[in-house]
Chains A and B, each alone.
Chain A
Amino acid sequence: MTASVLIPLLVTVVNSATPLLLAALGELVVERSGVLNLGIEGMMLVGAVCAFATMTLTGSDTLAVLAGAAAGAALSLVFGVLTLTLVANQVATGLALTIFGIGLSALIGKGFTGHPVPALPRLSLHGVSDLPVAGALLFRYDALVYFGLLMTPAIAWFLARSRAGLILRAVGEADLSAHSIGYDVIRIRYLAVLFGGAMSGLGGAYLSLAYTPLWVEDMTAGRGWIALALVVFAAWRPWRVLAGAWLFGGVTVLQLFLQGSGRLPVPSQVLAMVPYLATIIVLTIMSSGALRGRLEAPACLGKPFRPAS
């Protein structure tokens, strides 16, 4: 395989990893605070359609990206009110969020189907972006790709080194103790949930603004669920989320590449199964045997909390 094939392929891997990375990093923060939000798929779809609609109506990519994040956060607020204030079951509420999000996004997107928008502008540094190999590989992505890459160390630092991150982890590991030494568990979880929603919205916005600058119903195609699996795969650590996102981006691209090349004598649907099967296999490897001990889910993950007042 020559460089002329390999470099575009690697660039596509980074691109297809980005929506997974954004959504999974958001969910990682949510889960570290002790909340399990299964509604990523719904938040990504609503983020995608709101970003796309804003792009179509205003032509401003900045506004479009912000609209995607805001839409994801707005939907996650619904989840927050139900699970944090009203102490509803987190699994059921997350599923409801996904079902609701699929319907809502289809409804909003009805008038926008089939009209492409210009893709997000890509970085173009004079001289640097035109370098032979490094230029294409490192300096020609759009802003959301770089944002995802920057958020990985930022979140890693936040969780491991900052005071706020320490409090967030305390809330996720021992909600009662955190509460009794005076931290507002519910408020901290709200902030985490909103952050996760905004990140999912950005992941969706990336799909409809950059990856395929189009709105198609259900265009996330299970990416929200794969992002959830990534968090488990990463054992709740940001850098491993990045590695996992690239791995899954690679699987997706390889599958598309093989489908396109037509070299394998199997139906295209067999190849399309690969990312989903890979998710199951990876989850199995991570959850079983020798690795199980290292899988440190936050102790309070998914447990309802209501201070006795």
Chain B
Amino acid sequence: MRIRIERRPIVSRPLLYLTPPLAVVATMLVCFGLFAVMGDNPARSLYAFFIAPLLSGNGLAELGVKAAPLVMIAVGLAAGFRANVWNIGAEGQLTLGAICGGGVALAFWNQPGGWILPLMCLAGILGGMIWAAIPAFLRVVLGVNEILTSLMLTYVASLFLAILVYGPWKDPEGFNYPQSRMFSPAETLPILIPGTRLHLGVVVALLIAIAAWLVMSRSMLGFQIRAAGLAPAAARYAGFSRARLVWITMLASGGLAGLAGVFEVAGPIGQLIPTLTPGYGFTAIIVAFLGRLDPLGIILAGLVVALSYIGGDNAQVVAGLPAATTGLVQGLLLFLLLASDFLVRYRLRIAAPRTTPLPVKAPA
């Protein structure tokens, strides 16, 4: 009996949507083995990691708080990935967004007015867009690979933030800690459920994902983006401008990452600090793929990956797992998802045993 690998004539739609949950389950199974090697009781670790956070109201609120930036960033990145534009510097665009939004907050500190928060958001979007415009410009005009430039700018952005919070923007009453003033009430996002950290930005993130879904699936622009990735030659022949798509997807993903940065500093953090996120900009890449580059899928994927952050923190306290486990689990999840993609595009066929032809006897 032989197993033959065959390319499917068309990708399997059911498997396309079935494999992400499959990858999540497979990740849990691998984690069970991993926790058994690392800790004492794998079942308890697994429970602390994946189940416990879902059982309290506060845990669910935190899930939304963590998922919101991931979803916003991933929705933007996914549009780029679909068009073969690889912006992997979202972390830097988020940082610059937070710097610009935070700059507005510090400039108008302790002033009343409902206009400050929208202005912060606008500044953040612009900041993220400017940071994404650099690799977009280099790619479109000079043909420089955007993967490396967008990533290098992430390091530059975080150093820039460090300059500000260690220097001119340091809180004058902050006992010399490298952090800005706490933003005043008019500069922080309203809390939706008292007693939790669930802020207005979570709802905005959800609306953005739905809007992105409409654009990607219902508009000409969405069609052009999808065509550019699936059939570049056909897209060129149809007259879709490659440069325009690079600009649009880079600016959109940069702007969304910048807005996510503002939401972080105006929401859960409440000030500028040297390290804003546990790597949301990079993790959003996993979210984008786990959500099959589809905005609605990304909402679900964002919740799953957010769970890995909260679960990681929880397992650290309850089961004594090291903090690095979170990154390990996230990397593993993307590995298993990419591996499972094989099933979407290929199928295994059990072929009939190869019959060896009988030797033909030469006539005597």
Contacts and interface: CB of A to CB of B under 8 A. Distances in A.
Contacts of A96: 286, 331, 334-335, 338
Given A78-B335, A96-B331, A103 B326 contact: yes
Nearest to B329: A103
Interface in B293-338: 322-332, 334-335, 338
Interface in B64-111: 86, 88
A276 B160 CA distance: 12
B145 interface: yes
Interface stretch (A80-88, A131-139, A176-184, A190-198): A80-88
A279 B156 CA distance: 11
A288 B144 contact: yes
B277 interface: no
A94 to B, nearest CB: 9
B119 interface: no
B2 to A, nearest CB: 11
Contacts of B327: 99-100, 102-103, 106
B149 A283 contact: yes
Nearest to B334: A96
A267 B163 contact: yes
Contacts of B147: 38, 91
Given A96-B338, A280-B153, A287 B144 contact: yes
Interface in B264-287: 282-283, 285-286
Given A225-B148, A284-B144, A273 B286 contact: no
A91 B86 contact: yes
A151 to B, nearest CB: 23
Most chain B Cβ neighbours within 10 Å, of A101, A225, A306, A308: A225
A93 B289 CA distance: 11
Contact of A273 (B145, B156, B338, B345): B156
A275 to B, nearest CB: 8
Contacts of A272: 159
Identify whether the interface residues of B are mostly helix, strand, loop, or mixed.
Answer: helix
A269 B325 contact: no
B142 interface: yes
B144 A88 contact: no
B342 A95 contact: no
State the majority secondary structure of interface residues on A.
helix
A99 B338 contact: no
Contacts of B326: 103
A162 B152 CA distance: 36
A233 B45 CA distance: 46
B36 interface: no
Given A96-B338, A106-B327, A269 B162 contact: yes
B322 A283 contact: no
A267 B86 contact: no
A280 B331 contact: no
A199 B5 CA distance: 33
B198 to A, nearest CB: 27
B167 A100 contact: no
B341 A277 contact: no
A270 B163 contact: yes
Contact of B331 (A86, A89, A104, A221): A104
A107 B324 contact: yes
Contacts of B159: 269-270, 272-273
B339 interface: yes
Contacts of B325: 103, 107
A222 interface: yes
For the complex of A and B, 9 pairs with smallest distance between CB atoms: A100-B331, A103-B327, A106-B324, A103-B328, A288-B142, A96-B334, A88-B338, A86-B342, A99-B331
Interface of B: 4-5, 7, 38, 86, 88, 138, 142-145, 147-149, 151-153, 155-156, 159-160, 162-163, 166-167, 282-283, 285-286, 289, 322-332, 334-335, 338-339, 341-342, 345-346
Given A222-B151, A276-B155, 14 more contacts: A82-B339, A89-B341, A97-B331, A102-B324, A104-B328, A225-B152, A273-B159, A277-B152, A280-B148, A283-B138, A283-B144, A287-B138, A287-B142, A288-B142
7 contacts: A82-B335, A96-B331, A103-B326, A232-B145, A269-B162, A280-B148, A283-B148
Interface of A: 38, 42, 78, 81-82, 86-89, 91-93, 95-97, 99-107, 110, 217, 221-222, 225, 228-229, 232, 267, 269-270, 272-273, 276-277, 279-280, 283-284, 287-289, 292, 306, 308-309
